[in-house]
Amino acid sequence: MRAQPFRLLGTAPRSETPDTELCLPMVLTVGRLRRRTAGRRARRDASVAASVAWFTGAGLAVTLALALLTGVLARRAGVEQGTRSFENLARVTAATLTPALDGDPGLPPGPTADLRTHVDALVKAGPVVAVRVRSSSGQVLWADDRSVVGRTDALPADARRALRTGSVASLAADPGDPGVVAGHSSGRVLVAWVGVEDVHGTPLLVEFHESYTEVTDLAQRTWMRFAPAALGALALLQVLQVPLAWRLASNLRRSRQSEDALLQAAVDASDAERRRIAGEVHDHTVQDLTALAFEIDAAQMRGAPRNAEDAELLERTAQGVRRTVEDLRSLLVALIPARGGFRGGLLPALQVLAQELTRSGIRVTVRADDARDLPGPTAALLYRCAQEALRNVVTHSRATSVEVAVTQDQGVATMEIEDDGQGFDERRLAERAAAGHVGLRALGELLVDVGGSLTLSSAPGEGTQLVATVPLATAAVTAGAAR
């Protein structure tokens, strides 16, 4: 059966943590945080500046995007406005030219001589650059450019609709487009068709050309009317956001500093309480038990017991008291390590733990070359994980060998501890938690608090693997100089 990971460690919200866990003292000793140095403050100021710079850059990008979008929309609105204006001009002008479209009823309809007078005045006044009169078949009956008179071109769908309904239609076209532009017109033009009838009721198309630059110039003028107000408002908003962003980032930094101070106060209080308890145990309980052991030894030396059973009882009692004293002293060392912390690195500390397991008949392999240069806080967290895991190996696993490996990669330290013991399943883990064995769960919550993780993989008969990860920078900031 393949070992399955139990991702239950350190994942429960604080509000859901059982009361038995809340009552547990923090076993991991934590030293004083040293984060109020000038270098730390400088890094935090740089962090605030970087955050504000990122915010400002994002704001500028959004501002430029809005400015571009505003320009596109304003240009589109200007083009639509210019097109509608030209259509209105064409409609009104066609109405004034209709009386000049008169001819002999027996001949094809055509313009009179007065039409050129009207058109010359219209072209001279602008913005119209060309005028043509077409029949329903698309033949040019009259044009200000005589070179295109008599040509027949297929009418676009918009032109046919205008001819049929007597309405106006327009189309942007380039020189050479069939049925739209011909003659001496150059450049892109806006063409408008107006459906009219001459005095005999014959449908005709009056075609007007306007240079497309007139439309784009109008669009540009429309944009320039909106640009100062739009860009000014966006620029003002950006200017106002920078100090606000700086203030928010500074407030967030101060909030984090306050949280760190509260954490440090809690750590100091916990450290002081553990030392007080350890001092009382050492000064009273350990001393009393030591004195009791001496008294038992003295009783054995003052005279022989009345029988062998009494002698054996005294010997067992003396040995038991001495073992208890040694256990208490070991507990005190684990509870309050030397103030020097992990000056020798994590590797020597792990080797000491391995020696303790070796005396219990368990073969231990330690591979922790990457642990030599770990920061003190990270080494302390990993050491505490190893301490708890190896204690469980001795107590519960029935293992014959254990492998301990420590690696670090991309700012994360990882410890893997694997044994060949009897393993367990989720039911067994739940039973142990219900019985109050929550050491690993408490460690898991601590690692999660500093951005790490603690994962168990086990199955009955398959041994157990523990994997603990600790981000180096996060542990240094949040957990303090743990020992």
| Interval 15-24: pLDDT, tens | 333 333 322 2
Strands 140-143 and 401-409: unpaired
The pLDDT score that the predictor gives to residue 30 is 33
Per-residue pLDDT reduced to its tens digit, 116-129: 766 776 777 677 88
Rounded to an integer, the average pLDDT of 181-208 is: 77
Alpha helices in 182-211 (DSSP H): none
> Among 37-51, 179-193, 447-461, which is the least confidently predicted range?
37-51
Please indicate whether residue 471 or residue 428 has the higher confidence score (pLDDT): 471
Dihedral, CA atoms, 54, 59, 64, 69, nearest 10 degrees? 130
The pLDDT score that the predictor gives to residue 304 is 62
> Among 408-417, 440-449, 461-470, which is the least confidently predicted range?
440-449
The pLDDT score that the predictor gives to residue 178 is 59
The Cβ of residue 475 has, within 10 Å, a number of other Cβ atoms equal to 28
Rg (CA), the chain: 46
The pLDDT score that the predictor gives to residue 334 is 60
The pLDDT score that the predictor gives to residue 264 is 63
The pLDDT score that the predictor gives to residue 15 is 37
Please indicate whether residue 462 or residue 431 has the higher confidence score (pLDDT): 462
Q: Which two tokens stand for residue 385?
A: 């994980």
Work out the mean pLDDT of the chain and round it to a whole number.
Answer: 73
**Predicted confidence (pLDDT) at residue 335 exceeds the cutoff of 60:** yes
**Predicted confidence (pLDDT) at residue 112 exceeds the cutoff of 60:** no
**Predicted confidence (pLDDT) at residue 482 exceeds the cutoff of 60:** no
Q: Write the Ramachandran bin of 97: left for phi over 0, alpha for psi from -120 to 50, otherwise beta.
A: alpha
**How far, in Å, CA of 227 to CA of 241, rounded?**
21
Q: Which two tokens stand for residue 28?
A: 């991991």
Rounded to an integer, the average pLDDT of 151-158 is: 84
Strands 168-173 and 140-143: unpaired
b/e string for 368-396 if b means 16 or more Cβ within 10 A? bebbeebbbbbbbbbbbbbbbbbebbbeb
**Predicted confidence (pLDDT) at residue 103 exceeds the cutoff of 80:** no
The pLDDT score that the predictor gives to residue 416 is 95
Range ranked top by mean pLDDT from 42-51, 322-331, 339-348, 435-444:
322-331
**Predicted confidence (pLDDT) at residue 437 exceeds the cutoff of 60:** no
**How far, in Å, CA of 320 to CA of 306, rounded?**
21
Sign of CA dihedral 72, 73, 74, 76: positive
Range ranked top by mean pLDDT from 271-280, 310-319, 330-339, 402-411:
402-411
The pLDDT score that the predictor gives to residue 111 is 54
**Predicted confidence (pLDDT) at residue 109 exceeds the cutoff of 50:** no
Angle at 446 between CA 442 and CA 449, to 5 degrees: 140
**Predicted confidence (pLDDT) at residue 134 exceeds the cutoff of 90:** no
> Among 87-101, 215-229, 239-253, which is the least confidently predicted range?
215-229
Q: Which two tokens stand for residue 445?
A: 């919550």
**Predicted confidence (pLDDT) at residue 176 exceeds the cutoff of 70:** no
The pLDDT score that the predictor gives to residue 149 is 80
**How far, in Å, CA of 306 to CA of 304, rounded?**
6
Q: Count Cβ atoms within 10 A of the Cβ of residue 251 and give its class: 0-12 exposed, 13-18 middle, 19 or more buried.
A: exposed
The pLDDT score that the predictor gives to residue 35 is 34
Q: Are 374 and 381 in contact (CB under 8 A)?
A: no
Structural domains of the chain in order of their starting residue, each with its CATH number: 1-29+337-483 (3.30.565.10), 109-213 (3.30.450.20)
Strand partners, 416: 405, 467
38-97 and 212-280 are packed helices; what angle lies between their axes, rounded to 10 degrees?
160
Rounded to an integer, the average pLDDT of 192-216 is: 82
**How far, in Å, CA of 97 to CA of 413, rounded?**
89
Helix (H, G, I), strand (E, B) or coil at 154: coil
The pLDDT score that the predictor gives to residue 36 is 34
Residues 6 or more apart in contact with residue 422 via CB below 8 angstroms: 397, 398, 399, 460, 461, 463
Rounded to an integer, the average pLDDT of 164-168 is: 88
**Predicted confidence (pLDDT) at residue 418 exceeds the cutoff of 90:** yes
The pLDDT score that the predictor gives to residue 314 is 78
Please indicate whether residue 183 or residue 171 has the higher confidence score (pLDDT): 171
- End-to-end CA distance of the chain: give it in Å, rounded: 38
**Predicted confidence (pLDDT) at residue 269 exceeds the cutoff of 70:** yes
Q: Which two tokens stand for residue 251?
A: 């407030």
Per-residue pLDDT reduced to its tens digit, 270-318: 667 777 887 788 788 878 888 887 887 777 777 666 677 777 887 888 8
**Predicted confidence (pLDDT) at residue 424 exceeds the cutoff of 70:** yes
Dihedral, CA atoms, 69, 71, 72, 76, nearest 10 degrees? 140
Q: Are 443 and 388 in contact (CB under 8 A)?
A: yes
